[in-house]
Amino acid sequence: MRQYLFTYQTFVRFTNPVVNHHFRLRCQPMKSESQRVEEDALVVSTHSWLQAGHDAFGNRTLVGCYLLPHLSFAFASSGIVSLTGEVCGHSSGNDSLFRYSTKLTTPTAELREVYVPDGSNRQKAEYICDYVHHLLSYRQEVTNSSTSVGEVMSLRQGVCQDFAHVMISLCRLNGIPARYVCGMMVGEGQTHAWVEVFDGRFWIGLDPTNAVAAGYGYVKLSHGRDASDCSVCKGVFGGNTCQDTMVSVSVFEI
């Protein structure tokens, strides 16, 4: 196993005070046979109450609220994880959830025509991973969190979330259970997204943005049917305001 030090920080500034701010965070690493959490801590700047738990997919969550007026909101997650080298796990018993299209991963007519050679689920998924890597160009600020596969295919551009959604769409078309993964990648930057596919025995991580297996250096925060199940920070509040969000992520081997 290899150990990694990680930090995930978010700072939100509001132009006018907000109140009754309810939020849910998914910013702590998942615990699994392939990812052991040695140490972790989560600090939230302002809150009236907090409650830790898990969502329907087993992702670690922190639900809370801050009722009083405030102009900013921040949280920081940090710690040490040990990785086995493959982001994978045994069947969780709900694999059928990851066989069907969602609003964000509905395949286009063009994707339905893509030829995928016969082989095992892993072989087909690796082919699809490479295919999507060459199909799309990486470009920021042309898509957003609600961009569908149909829109991505029209643009032929996007970020890691879009690469993952197109790969998931193709995998499910070919009978391969596939789930969206939100996490962090070694180095400094932003949240990263990749795909886990079920090969019949294990879940295997593949990164279509970089056309590699998601092994050492990939710290998993959450998984779900698509990106909407894996938002790191989601909330509602009262007030007439605009907000500016800054995110900083770092992962280093120790």
pLDDT tens-digit series, residues 51-65: 999 999 999 999 999
Same domain for 188 and 161, yes or no, is yes
Q: What are phi and psi of 176, to 5 degrees?
A: -105, 115
pLDDT tens digits, 196-211: 999 888 899 999 999 9
Give the domain extent around 148: 95-229
Same domain for 127 and 217, yes or no, is yes
Q: Exposure string (b/e) for 38-48, b if CB count within 10 Å is 16 or more?
A: eebebebeebe
Same domain for 124 and 222, yes or no, is yes
Same domain for 72 and 21, yes or no, is yes
pLDDT one digit per residue (tens) for the chain, 254 residues = 899 999 999 999 999 999 999 999 999 999 998 999 999 999 999 778 999 999 999 999 999 999 999 999 999 999 999 998 866 666 666 778 899 999 999 999 999 999 999 999 999 999 999 999 999 999 999 999 999 999 999 999 999 999 999 999 999 999 999 999 999 999 988 999 999 999 888 899 999 999 999 999 999 999 999 999 999 999 999 999 999 999 999 999 99
- Rg (the chain; Cα; Å): 18
Measured CA to CA in angstroms, residue 84 lies from 1, 32, 137, 208, 221 at distances of 5, 10, 31, 21, 16
Task: Compute the distance between CA of residue 253 and CA of residue 29 in angstroms, rounded to an integer.
Answer: 16
Closest to 143 (Cα-Cα) out of 129, 135, 132, 153: 153
Q: Count how many domains the chain has.
A: 2
